[in-house]
Amino acid sequence: MKKNNLLLVASLGLLVASCGKTGPRKTPGGIEYTVEKAGKGDKLKEGDTIMVHFSSYLNDSLLIDTRKEQGSAIPMVIQPSRDKFDLMDGFAQLTEGDSAIFVLPLDSMPQKPPIAKPGDKMFVHFVVESKYSVAKQNAKEEKTIKEYIDKNSLKATKSPKGVYVAVTQEGTGAQPKTGDMVSVNYTGMLLDGTKFDSNVDSTIRPGMPLQPLQFAIGSGQVIPGWDEGIAQLKQGSKATLVIPSAMAYGLQGGGPTIKPNSVLVFTVELLDVKPGAPAEAPAAPAPAPAPGK
Task: State the Cα–Cα distance between residues 158 and 115, nearest whole angstrom.
Answer: 54
Give the catalytic positions in this structure.
186, 196-197, 223, 249, 266
Q: How far apart are the first and last CA of the chain?
A: 87
CA distance 72 to 132: 14
Q: DSSP assignment, residue 58?
A: E
Query: How many C-beta atoms surround the C-beta of residue 136 within 10 A?
Result: 11
- As beta bridge partners, residue 57 has 62, 123
- List Cβ neighbours of 204 (8 Å cut-off, separation of 6 or more): 187, 195, 196, 197, 198
Residue 266 near residue 186, CB atoms below 8 Å: yes
Taken as a whole, the chain contains a residue count of 293
Per the CB < 8 A criterion, the answer to whether 239 and 233 are in contact is yes
Separation of alpha carbons 48 and 230, rounded Å: 33
- The continuous run of DSSP H or E covering 270 comes out as strand 264-274
Helix (H) or strand (E) holding 234: none
